[in-house]
Amino acid sequence: MLSFSLTGGRPVDFFFVDDAYRLKPSRPGMYPLAAIGGVRVESEQLSPLNKALEELCRTTYRFPVGEEFKWSPQKTSWMARRLTDTRRRKFYLAVIETLRRHDVVATVMIATRYPTDRDSMSSATTEATKFYLERVEQQCRRRDRQGFIIVDRPGGGPKEEAALLKRCAAVVEGGTYWVKFAHIAHGLLAADSRTSRLLQAADLVVSCTAAAVAGEQKYALPVFLHIEEMLDRAGDRVQGYGLKIDPDDRHANLYYWLLAAEHFWHGRSRWRLPRVDRNWATDSMEE
């Protein structure tokens, strides 16, 4: 386990993290994808944001005690039965607006793999996790803050949870080709999303973004357009900061369709978008 502690008097940013998968994307030419990401909350905003989300759920929308919200709730759940169609979309937008009022920043890293690759989703998950941890370090360094990461507890039980935490610890302790980690204040912790409105918000952000990238236009895209405003950015650039779709080169034009980006950055080169020699050059739903 990691042994980092809160030292040096730096303020803390909390990162609430979840994952999402799309094995059969609707977008023509899109490979199966794994997404890792979530929401960044300043320590000063943690308590008021949590209270505001609880008020929204319990008072405005009458969620029963212990009922969580999700992007894709189970069909037998209260949310699936009672919040439908327009009312559910209004609820999602109210959650996003609550996050924005409390200065929340979103980050989603996506990795795709050719469907016949052996262990393709395991490979994609590992890569997306590495990308996300790098962004946490970069954001904390930029802001001169410490980072504390809470991940949604995996559904596979203690063994899967231990494997996840060990995998993340290895990345942080060893660093990557691009990043050496110095701002993560503590080893990653896993928590049950049923007890955390902020992990539920991470599920909404990551799952909706993954669905929008995968080409789900009817429900995901209108909500994602509001999430897009929360994505981390440097100047006016979101690509590679708040949203990454690996491999970037293959997905360059999706940044045009999803983020209205006029340019794509590839190393030190800058390409005008959309590129006619890449997928989805003239239509986001035509390969």
pLDDT at position 197 is 98
Number of Cβ within a 10 Å radius of residue 119 = 10
Tens of pLDDT, residue by residue over 99-123, are 999 999 999 999 999 877 667 788 8
Pairing verdict, β 243-246 and 105-112 = parallel
Q: How do residues 123-165 score in pLDDT, each as one tens digit?
A: 899 999 999 999 999 999 999 999 999 999 988 788 888 888 8
Q: Could you count the other beta carbons within 10 Å of the beta carbon of residue 37?
A: 30
pLDDT at position 164 is: 85
CA 24 to CA 81: how far, in whole Å?
A: 26
What contacts 191, CB < 8 A, 6 or more positions away? 150, 151, 152, 153, 199
Residues 184-219: tens digit of each pLDDT:
988 899 999 999 999 999 999 999 999 999 999 999
Domains of the chain: 12-246 (3.30.420.10), 252-287 (no CATH)
pLDDT for the residue numbered 118: 60
Q: What is the pLDDT of residue 31?
A: 95
* pLDDT digit string, tens, across residues 1-40: 333 334 456 899 999 999 999 999 999 999 999 999 999 9
Gap between the Cα atoms of 216 and 28, Å rounded = 11
User: Which residues have C-beta within 8 Å of that of residue 31, sequence separation ≥ 6?
Assistant: 25, 112, 113, 114, 115
Predicted TM-score (pTM) of this structure = 0.94
- Spatial distance between the Cα atoms of 213 and 209, rounded to a whole number of angstroms: 6
